[in-house]
Amino acid sequence: MDLSTPTPAVQRALGIAQLLARRLGEQEVRPFHIFQALLQEEEGLAATTLQKAGLSLDLVRQGLPGRDEPPPTGSFEPSLALSAAVYEVLKTAAEISLEVTGERIVAGDHLVVAIVRRDRETRAQLETLGLDVSQVAERAFGQLPTLSLDEPLELGATVEQMEVLRILDAGANRANEALRVIEDYCRFVLDDAFLCRELKEMRHDLSAALADVSSISLAARDTLADVGTAITTAQESARHSASAVIHANLKRLQEALRSLEEFSKLSSAALARKLEGLRYRSYTVERAITLGASARRRLADARLYVLISSSECTADLEWTIGEATAGGAQIFQLREKGLDDDELLRRARRVRQATNKAGVLLVVNDRPDIARIVGADGVHLGQNDLPIKEARRITGPKMLIGISTHTIQQVREAILNGASYIGVGPTFPSKTKSFSEYPGLDFVHSATAETSLPCFVIGGVNQTTIVDAIAAGAQRVAVGEAICKASEPRAIAAGMRRLLNESAAGDTRDLTLQPYD
């Protein structure tokens, strides 16, 4: 319990109260023990206060339990817990001190008045000795209001309300602080506009939900008397990486929201439902950040993604993979639409062997089952294919899952649904696939600005159109026939990879495709 600045006399009285309680065989220290300890000093402020109120100290001491024992002396080792009633008395004493002196320096007179006000046991003892307890504060300080105690003062409901407000105030602070930490990470580390905006909206929604509570919970805040401020663990004092900071704060956010939700049920079911909704949103954001971090690491240097099929490739698939890899391609997607399952499986196994030999990633289009059977690195889904959630049930937690997007809303949904990367397009007319509409370069610009998740521009990308795609913000592209139908796929891949590397490095001075050397 933090009294701010207790005087030496109060500190001594607390120590003596420990010894008195132990001597009397008590299990905890009660306010009455502190009252007895305060009266050990004949000239102390506590004794003087009682004398001002018209009480004979000799008469009081005669009525105290343990009066025949000599007063405890010497040093002490705290061994008994302070009762809840003692904490209430100490808090009241600090408030009296603040009202009388303007400071929270608790002296013996503040403490004895607080005991008389708040502790029924002590008050009953004093009343039997003829003390008018309503006069104690007035006689001691004059300006403090007196209390009429003709009937016992029941503070249970009010005290619980203030305690719950303290919990809500602390929970709101923790949640807002955690949201700000996570938002700063998404803003300054990930440079992710969508996640940053999502977290900012959560902060605003939390503030709006708690607006009515916040207006009154501040009055219940008592940081100086908060026993939890001094409690910490070694794990809280050290963070070993930015990802560790984010993990800790995501958990802190969820714990704070759960506490807010539970205690808000005492007063408002509607508020509890709003807080529950925010907690579920926090789980979704956690998944997006965590899965996105893994995808960003695995695809950090992946720039050139090649779409292959037997019908589109001039040469056999294994040769095309080897040549394109030599030119700088890093991911290959097997796209076979018309094959029976058994033939598709045989072809996927051949391509898996070739990509393993080349040391590049393999993604299977549309078929998470085939991807899992052959041990592919990922699966790519269209808007009309299995949802990411269902595909993940088949692939397991580690496989990359990409999804084609045609609108900015689909990009946002893909991020929150846990996509590993995003296909952005179609951007240009393509001979391999027909579309009635082309989102085009405007979509490339908006999608790549919206998220830091790997975005591969797809649809009609070739030696000519890649320059326009890069100018619109692309740093990654997915290419089909421009490489598959080329007589020298190594040369085409090398030229495209050079442009993408220069764009990623911020060098866009010469966006022209040079011959492969």
Residue in the structure block whose two tokens are 């003709």 = 150
My answer on whether 347 and 233 are in the same domain is no
The confidence score (pLDDT) of residue 206 equals: 96
State both tokens at 458. Answer: 């797809």
Is 413 exposed, middle or buried (CB count within 10 Å of its CB: 0-12, 13-18, 19+)? middle
Mean pLDDT confidence for 438-456: 95
pTM reported for the whole predicted model:
0.66
Mean pLDDT confidence for 405-414: 97
Ramachandran region, residue 191 (left: φ > 0; alpha: ψ -120 to 50; beta: rest): left
My answer on whether 397 and 315 are in the same domain is yes
Q: Is residue 334 part of a domain?
A: yes
Q: What is the CATH number of the domain that holds 196?
A: 1.20.1260
The confidence score (pLDDT) of residue 153 equals: 42
User: What residues contact residue 479 under an 8 Å CB cut-off, 6+ apart?
Assistant: 304, 305, 306, 307, 461, 462, 466, 496
Share of the chain above pLDDT 90, in %: 55
Q: Count CB-CB contacts under 10 A for residue 452.
A: 19
The confidence score (pLDDT) of residue 53 equals: 65
* CA 7 to chain CA mean position, Å: 41
Mean pLDDT confidence for 64-93: 66
My answer on whether 309 and 406 are in the same domain is yes
The confidence score (pLDDT) of residue 43 equals: 57
Q: Is residue 150 part of a domain?
A: no
My answer on whether 114 and 228 are in the same domain is no
Residue 75 identity (one-letter amino acid): S
Cβ contact 416:454 at 8 Å: no
Cβ contact 135:146 at 8 Å: yes
My answer on whether 120 and 252 are in the same domain is no
Q: Count CB-CB contacts under 10 A for residue 206.
A: 22
Model confidence at 508, pLDDT cuts 50, 70, 90, reads low
The confidence score (pLDDT) of residue 22 equals: 84
Cβ contact 116:122 at 8 Å: yes
The confidence score (pLDDT) of residue 383 equals: 95
My answer on whether 166 and 245 are in the same domain is yes
Residue in the structure block whose two tokens are 């393993």 = 356
pLDDT at 352 > cutoff 70? yes
My answer on whether 383 and 417 are in the same domain is yes
Q: What is the CATH number of the domain that holds 310?
A: 3.20.20.70
Cβ contact 361:331 at 8 Å: yes
Share of the chain above pLDDT 70, in %: 79
φ/ψ (deg, to 5) at 384? -100, 10
My answer on whether 163 and 203 are in the same domain is yes
The confidence score (pLDDT) of residue 164 equals: 85
Q: Count CB-CB contacts under 10 A for residue 90.
A: 26
Dihedral angle over CA of 297, 298, 299, 301, nearest 10: 80
Q: HSE (CB half, 13 Å, CA atoms) of 267?
A: 14
- Going from the C-alpha of 11 to that of each of 119, 192, 198, 354, 447, the distances in angstroms are 19, 54, 51, 79, 65
Task: Give the chain's end-to-end CA distance (angstroms, integer).
Answer: 76
Region of poorest pLDDT, from 19-23, 271-275, 351-355, 357-361 = 19-23
Cβ contact 335:381 at 8 Å: no
The confidence score (pLDDT) of residue 2 equals: 46
Q: Is residue 251 part of a domain?
A: yes
My answer on whether 443 and 463 are in the same domain is yes
User: What residues contact residue 199 under an 8 Å CB cut-off, 6+ apart?
Assistant: 179, 182, 183, 186, 285
Give 94-149 pLDDT, tens digit per residue: 888 877 777 778 887 888 888 888 888 887 877 777 766 666 666 666 544 444 44
Q: Count CB-CB contacts under 10 A for residue 70.
A: 6
Cβ contact 292:415 at 8 Å: yes
Give 187-229 pLDDT, tens digit per residue: 999 999 999 999 999 999 999 999 888 767 766 677 666 666 6
State both tokens at 464. Answer: 């000519």
My answer on whether 95 and 237 are in the same domain is no
The confidence score (pLDDT) of residue 257 equals: 97
My answer on whether 279 and 195 are in the same domain is yes
Give 37-69 pLDDT, tens digit per residue: 877 765 567 667 766 766 666 666 565 555 445
Model confidence at 1, pLDDT cuts 50, 70, 90, reads very low
Is 69 exposed, middle or buried (CB count within 10 Å of its CB: 0-12, 13-18, 19+)? exposed
pLDDT at 247 > cutoff 80? yes
Final residue before a domain boundary, out of 296, 326, 345: 296
The confidence score (pLDDT) of residue 517 equals: 39
Counted domains in the chain: 3
My answer on whether 60 and 76 are in the same domain is yes
Final residue before a domain boundary, out of 116, 141, 166: 141
Domain extent at residue 47: 5-141
Region of poorest pLDDT, from 115-119, 233-237, 452-456, 486-490 = 233-237
Cβ contact 336:309 at 8 Å: yes
Which carries the bigger pLDDT value, residue 5 or residue 380? 380
Q: What is the CATH number of the domain that holds 129?
A: 1.10.1780.10
The confidence score (pLDDT) of residue 112 equals: 80
Mean pLDDT confidence for 428-432: 75
pLDDT at 510 > cutoff 70? no
State both tokens at 392. Answer: 């993940």
Average pLDDT, the chain: 84
Q: Is residue 514 part of a domain?
A: no
State both tokens at 114. Answer: 């607080």
Which carries the bigger pLDDT value, residue 35 or residue 324? 324
User: What residues contact residue 516 under an 8 Å CB cut-off, 6+ apart?
Assistant: 327, 488, 490, 491, 492, 494, 495
pLDDT at 358 > cutoff 50? yes
CA distance 357 to 221: 64
Model confidence at 88, pLDDT cuts 50, 70, 90, reads confident
Cβ contact 129:67 at 8 Å: no
